């Protein structure tokens, strides 16, 4: 055996000062020497190998015989460690015990990391050599290197990582985590992970929750984290328990991926999908969702109302001021409405000029109606848009549950129908949905369809109603009134079919036909009877808003040869109150043509008399509802007197419509109203009948009750 061939030594290890004698015998030493896991080499004073143990052979690859007698440096010290190795030797030779870590070389040239201990050896108080002990620390070095690399990798990872103890104290963080959370490593170490909790995601950041994780499971989820500066951000987080084989779970590794941007993008998308771009209000879709929620919340006990608010004649504003102004107006309207609505109410823009409203927590049906009125009141003041003061009206349709269905779609549909009704009833008003509206809408649709071919099929005609001057008893004019004889249904009153004609736009060609017919008829009478009869033609606001109107009127006059002064166009109050620049321009052009204007149904709608001065009107027509009240003690006489005085003051002629009785006539005459029109004198008549009447009375109304009495007045 090899080891038997080694020289046997008798040595003492220790410092010269202690002078101790060996307590173990050689055999003990020998065994320690041979069995040591570390390489041990015995060197002479001049660094030559005297003996090596088995571990030396194993670690450095030299057999004992190869090593003995060689200079140790030439054996195992790489060139670049030579000075360091010599330095160590010198120190040991001076009697020091030295320790160092360094790299040595194996026989095959490969490096080996070692921890070196150098002991001086003494004999009889004299240093005779050195013990070199080399522990192979390659494995430790390797592990250290790996750990360093891993730590560097974790530190430079994009993900934020931290490790906590079992009970949640932070033990390690990487740089990304410090950056993400805003806390430095020092501020985090030893703190509880729940320090980062934003208050709404405890599960993600509460170590007590992690402790329930089975050892081989991950917790994964989104967590909202509070940054050191207080702001919140969202991370996708994975928590992995670390298991010690002996102790079970002892740490948690938490990896966080910052997904704030993605969450924000998602939030923005969600917002965009549910909001109107222009006004930033919720859109129709979001409105539906909120209404559903409101219905759920009411749960059959509360009242839920849906209101749809639509601006009156918004198209005119767009047409005359441009879309930019129209857009700004919508924004301004949205803002004003929001200001009028109680907290918690939903205000949405459906697109166009339509807004949806769900007032929350309504006490009753009546609250809905007073709220609707408040909203309409918001439109009495003009909107300041791009340096312009713009008046715009609005109409509101309301559907309420109960009694309406507890279903969002039906409620919206019903509110829409009620809105349609509010519009048809003269706008600037609100209407509640009623069951019968379904029927009405169907009827209106039917009317619209039937009306489509009415002109071509010759179902339309004009009736004329005379207008009488009380002083002279002379017929000074006629009002042309449209008649429709439906082949199946007979006469359909204009009050019913005109709204349908307006809604379908058919009023424009029909109105053009009326103008033409009326002018032609007036011209014929002028020729056949030799009298100049002024003809009044009713204009729908829809026609007046059509910029082509002046041209249409000019054409009718030209084609028939009628003197423009004999044409009187009857306008409605609401049209003038909300007149857009386009409407004003049309009226100017018509005035320039020489036609006159009468204001129809005066006194019914508005209180502002501003526009009376603005538009050069010729005549006010007192609404027949006021005349109907005359002589029976109602306050209407006051209104009639006021209108008469007003007309005189403004230099306008005043005509009273709907005069049916002698009492009404007497009252009007006493109040100074000089012009009248009504069944008392004549119903609207077909042209031939009226002509006969006029011929008989020679321009006066003869052969009827009226004119005979008229005679007495004159
Ligand atoms: P309006 O312009 O106020 O027309 C006067 C209405 O009063 C006519 O009803 C006429 O027949 C009715 N009337 C006349 N005298 C009396 C009376 O003594 N007592 C009562 N109770 N009523 C009287 P009509 O012909 O049914 O027309 C209704 C409405 O339809 C008109 O009201 C007008 O707004 C509209 N309309 C009629 N023809 C046309 C037209 O050609 N174009 C447009 N746009 N609207 C028209
Ligand atoms: Ca009229
Ligand atoms: Ca009228």
pLDDT in tens, 217-268: 888 888 888 999 989 888 999 999 988 888 888 899 999 998 888 888 888 8
CA of 482 to the centre of ligand 3 (A): 13
Rounded percentage of the chain residues whose pLDDT exceeds 70: 91
pTM above 0.85, yes or no: no
Q: What is the mean pLDDT of residues 456-467?
A: 96
Probe target for ligand 1 pocket from 538, 568, 664, 701, with the most ligand atoms within 8 Å of CB:
538
- Closest by Cα among 468, 471, 481, 469 to 511: 481
200 band by pLDDT with thresholds 50, 70 and 90: low
User: Has residue 685 got a pLDDT over 80?
Assistant: yes
Q: Is the pLDDT at 301 greater than 60, yes or no? A: yes
CA angle, corner 267, sides to 265 and 271, nearest 5?
115
Kindly indicate the confidence band of residue 12, based on its pLDDT and cuts at 50, 70 and 90: very low
Question: What pLDDT score was predicted for residue 9?
Answer: 47
Average pLDDT, stretch 463-468? Answer: 96
What are all long-range contacts of 546-555, with beta carbons under 8 Å and residues at least 24 apart? 546/508, 547/319, 547/582, 547/585, 547/586, 549/586, 549/590, 550/586, 550/589, 550/590, 550/593, 552/511, 552/512, 552/515, 553/515, 553/590, 553/593, 553/595, 554/593, 555/516
pLDDT at 8: 45
496: Cβ below 6 Å to ligand 1? no
| pLDDT of the residue at 115 | 94
Q: What is the pLDDT of residue 15?
A: 42
Distance CA 542, CA 578 (A): 13
Is the CB of residue 491 below 6 angstroms from any atom belonging to ligand 1?
no
Quote the CA–CA distance of 604 and 643 in Å, as a whole number. Answer: 11
Residue 25's pLDDT band (cuts 50, 70, 90):
low
3-state secondary structure 113-141: EEEEEEEEEEECCEEEEEEEEEEECHHHH
Give the residue from 230, 314, 236, 316 showing the smallest Cα distance to 584.
316
Strands 534-538 and 567-571: parallel
**Beta strands at 160-165 and 49-52: parallel, antiparallel or unpaired:** unpaired
Instruction: Among 212-216, 507-511, 664-668, name the one with the lowest average pLDDT.
Output: 212-216
Residue 29 has a pLDDT of 78
Q: What is the pLDDT of residue 1?
A: 40
Mean pLDDT across 162-179: 92
Do the Cβ atoms of 417 and 396 come closer than 8 Å? no
Closest C-alpha to 536, from 568, 564, 561: 568
Nearest CA owner, ligand 1 atom 12: 658
Q: Are 430 and 395 in contact (CB under 8 A)?
A: yes
DSSP secondary structure code for residue 196 in this structure:
G
**Strand residue runs (E) in 506-595:** 534-538, 567-571
> Closest Cα partner for 371 from 305, 297, 469, 467?
305
Query: Contact, 118 vs 101, CB < 8 A?
Result: no
By percentage, how much of the chain surpasses pLDDT 90?
A: 50
- Name the residue with the closest Cα to ligand 1, atom 13: 658
Q: Closest Cα partner for 253 from 363, 139, 177?
A: 177
Ligand 1 contact, 205 CB (< 6 A): no
Calculate how far, in angstroms, residue 463's C-alpha sits from the geometric centre of ligand 1: 10
- Please report which confidence band the pLDDT of residue 32 belongs to, taking 50, 70 and 90 as the band edges: confident
Tell me the average pLDDT of the chain.
86
* 505 phi and psi angles, rounded to 5 deg: 85, -5
Considering every ligand atom, which ligand is closest to the CA of 676?
1
What pLDDT score was predicted for residue 633? Answer: 65
Tokens coding 232: 């919140």
Q: Which residues pair with 396 in a beta bridge?
A: 309, 430
pLDDT of amino acid 69: 92
Work out the pLDDT band at 703, boundaries 50, 70, 90.
very low
CB 308 within 8 A of CB 416: yes
DSSP 537: E
Residue 86 has pLDDT above 80, yes or no: yes
Encode pLDDT of 419-440 as tens digits.
988 888 777 889 989 877 677 7
**Cis amide prior to 346 (ω within 30 degrees):** no
Res 7: pLDDT: 46
For the ranges 518-522, 604-608, 614-618, the lowest mean pLDDT is seen at 604-608
Ligand nearest to the CA of 543: 1
Strands 219-226 and 232-244: antiparallel
Per the rule left: phi > 0, alpha: psi between -120 and 50, beta: everything else, 580 is beta
Please report, for residues 39, 307, 568, the alpha-carbon distance to residue 32 in angstroms, rounded to integers and kept in the order given: 11, 100, 134
At residue 442, φ and ψ (nearest 5 deg) are -60, -40
Ligand with smallest separation from the Cα of 536: 2
pLDDT at 152: 86
Atom of ligand 1 nearest to the CA of 539: 44
Q: How far apart are the first and last CA of the chain?
A: 162
Instruction: Report the separation in Å between the CA atom of 600 and the middle of ligand 1, taken as the mean of its atom positions.
Output: 10
Q: Whose CA is nearest to atom 3 of ligand 1?
A: 601
SS (H, E, C) 646-711: HHHHHCCEEEECCCCCHHHHHHHHHCCCCEECCCCCCCCECHHHHHHHHHHHCCECCCCHHHHHHH
What would the pLDDT profile of 553-592 be if each residue is shown by its tens digit? 999 999 999 999 999 999 988 788 778 888 999 999 999 9
What does the buried/exposed string (b/e) look like for 274-308 if buried means 16 or more CB atoms within 10 Å of the residue's CB? bbbeebebbbeebbbebbeebbeebeeebbbbbbb
How confident is residue 18, by pLDDT bands cut at 50, 70 and 90?
A: very low
Q: With CA atoms as reference, report the closest residue to 565 among 517, 613, 533.
A: 533
pLDDT digits (tens, 9 = 90+) for 334-357: 999 999 998 889 999 998 999 999
Residue with tokens 């015998």: 25
**For residue 440, how far is its CA from the centre of ligand 3 (angstroms)?**
24
**656 CB under 6 A from ligand 1?**
no
* Candidate of 464, 657, 663 to mutate for ligand 1, largest count of ligand atoms within 8 Å of Cβ: 657
Local confidence band at 197 (pLDDT 50, 70, 90 cut-offs): confident
Mean pLDDT to the nearest integer, 4-30: 53
pLDDT at 23: 52
392 pocket-lining for ligand 1 (C-beta < 6 Å):
no
Establish whether residue 660 lines the binding site of ligand 1, counting it when its CB lies within 6 angstroms of any ligand atom.
Answer: yes
Distances (CA, A) of 532 to 474, 528, 567, 683, 698: 11, 11, 11, 20, 12
CA distances from 409 to 284, 290, 348, 412 (A): 11, 12, 15, 5
Residue 102, strand partner residues: 114
The pLDDT score that the predictor gives to residue 313 is: 87
3-state secondary structure 274-329: HECCCCCCECHHHHHHHHHHHHHHHCCCCEEEEEEEEECCHHHHHHHHCHHHHHHH
Residue 382 main-chain phi, psi, to 5 deg:
-70, 160
Q: CB neighbours of 403 closer than 8 A, spacing ≥ 6? A: none
Average pLDDT over residues 328-338: 96
Evaluate if residue 714 carries a pLDDT over 60.
no
By alpha-carbon position, which residue is closest to atom 37 of ligand 1?
Answer: 481
What is the pLDDT averaged over residues 5-16?
46
Question: From the CB of 542, is ligand 1 less than 6 Å away?
Answer: no
461 lines ligand 1 (CB under 6 A): no
pLDDT at 10 over 60: no
CA distance 245 to 212: 18
| Distance in angstroms (rounded) separating the CA atoms of residues 282 and 126 | 99
Name, in order, each residue with C-beta under 8 angstroms of 649's C-beta and a sequence gap of 6 or more: none
């Amino acid at each position: 055996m090899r080891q038997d061939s080694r020289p046997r030594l008798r040595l003492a290890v220790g410092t010269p000062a202690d002078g101790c004698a060996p307590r173990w015998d050689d055999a003990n030493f020998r065994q320690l020497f041979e069995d040591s896991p570390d390489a041990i080499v015995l060197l002479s004073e001049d660094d030559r190998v005297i003996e090596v143990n088995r571990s030396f052979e194993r670690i450095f690859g030299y057999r004992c015989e190869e090593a003995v007698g060689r200079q140790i440096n030439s054996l195992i010290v790489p060139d670049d460690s030579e000075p360091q190795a010599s330095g160590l030797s010198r120190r040991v030779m001076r009697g020091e015990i030295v320790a160092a870590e360094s790299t040595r070389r194996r026989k095959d040239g490969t490096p080996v990391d070692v921890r070196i201990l150098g002991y001086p050896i003494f004999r009889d108080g004299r240093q005779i050599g050195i013990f070199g002990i080399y522990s192979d620390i390659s494995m430790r070095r390797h592990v250290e290197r790996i750990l360093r690399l891993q730590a560097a990798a974790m530190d430079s990872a994009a993900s934020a990582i931290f490790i906590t103890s079992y009970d949640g104290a932070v033990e390690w963080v990487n740089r990304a985590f410090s950056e993400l959370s805003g806390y430095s490593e020092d501020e985090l170490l030893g703190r509880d992970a729940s320090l980062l909790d934003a208050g709404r995601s405890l599960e993600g950041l509460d170590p007590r929750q992690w402790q329930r994780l089975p050892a081989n499971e991950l917790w994964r989820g989104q967590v909202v984290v509070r940054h050191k500066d207080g702001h919140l951000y969202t991370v996708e987080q994975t928590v992995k328990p670390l298991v010690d084989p002996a102790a079970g779970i002892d740490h948690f590794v938490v990896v966080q991926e910052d997904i704030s941007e993605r969450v924000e993008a998602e939030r923005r998308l969600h917002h965009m999908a549910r909001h109107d771009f222009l006004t930033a209000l919720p859109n129709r879709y979001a409105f539906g969702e909120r209404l559903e929620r409101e219905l759920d919340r009411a749960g059959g006990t509360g009242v839920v109302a849906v209101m749809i608010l639509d601006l009156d004649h918004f198209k005119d504003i767009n047409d005359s001021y441009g879309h930019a102004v129209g857009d700004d107006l919508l924004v301004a309207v949205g803002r004003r409405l929001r200001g009028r609505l109680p907290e918690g109410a939903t205000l949405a823009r459906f697109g166009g000029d339509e807004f949806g409203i769900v007032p929350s927590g309504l006490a009753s049906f009546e609250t809905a109606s007073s709220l609707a009125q408040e909203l309409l009141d918001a439109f009495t003041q003009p909107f300041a848009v791009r340096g312009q003061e713009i008046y715009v009206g609005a109409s509101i349709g309301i559907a309420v549950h109960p009694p309406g269905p507890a279903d969002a779609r039906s409620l919206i549909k019903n509110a829409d129908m009620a809105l349609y009704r509010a519009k048809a009833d003269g706008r600037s008003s609100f209407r509640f949905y009623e069951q019968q509206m379904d029927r009405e809408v169907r009827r209106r649709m039917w009317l619209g369809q039937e009306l489509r071919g009415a002109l071509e099929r010759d179902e339309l005609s004009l009736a004329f109603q005379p207008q009488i001057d009380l002083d002279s008893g002379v017929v000074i004019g006629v009002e042309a009134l449209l008649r429709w004889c439906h082949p199946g249904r007979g006469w359909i009153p204009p009050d019913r079919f005109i709204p349908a004609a307006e809604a379908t736009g058919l009023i424009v060609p029909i109105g053009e036909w009326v103008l033409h017919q009326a002018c032609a008829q007036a011209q014929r009478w002028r020729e056949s009877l030799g009298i100049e009869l002024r003809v009044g033609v009713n204009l729908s606001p829809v026609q007046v808003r059509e910029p082509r109107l002046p041209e249409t009127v000019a054409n009718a006059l030209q084609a028939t040869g009628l003197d423009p002064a004999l044409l009187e166009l009857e306008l409605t109050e609401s049209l003038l109150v909300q007149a857009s620049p386009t409407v004003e321009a049309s009226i100017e052009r018509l005035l320039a043509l020489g036609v006159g204007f009468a204001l129809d149904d005066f006194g019914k709608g508005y209180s502002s008399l501003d526009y009376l001065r603005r538009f050069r009107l010729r005549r006010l027509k007192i609404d027949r509802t006021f005349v109907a009240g005359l002589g029976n003690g109602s306050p209407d006489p006051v209104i009639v007197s006021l209108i008469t005085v007003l007309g005189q003051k403004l230099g306008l002629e005043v005509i009273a419509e709907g005069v049916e009785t002698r009492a009404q006539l007497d009252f009007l005459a006493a109040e100074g109203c000089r012009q009248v029109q009504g069944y008392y004198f004549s119903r609207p008549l077909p042209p031939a009948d009226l002509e006969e009447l006029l011929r008989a009375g020679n321009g006066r109304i003869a052969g009827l009750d009226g004119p005979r009495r008229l005679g007495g007045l004159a």
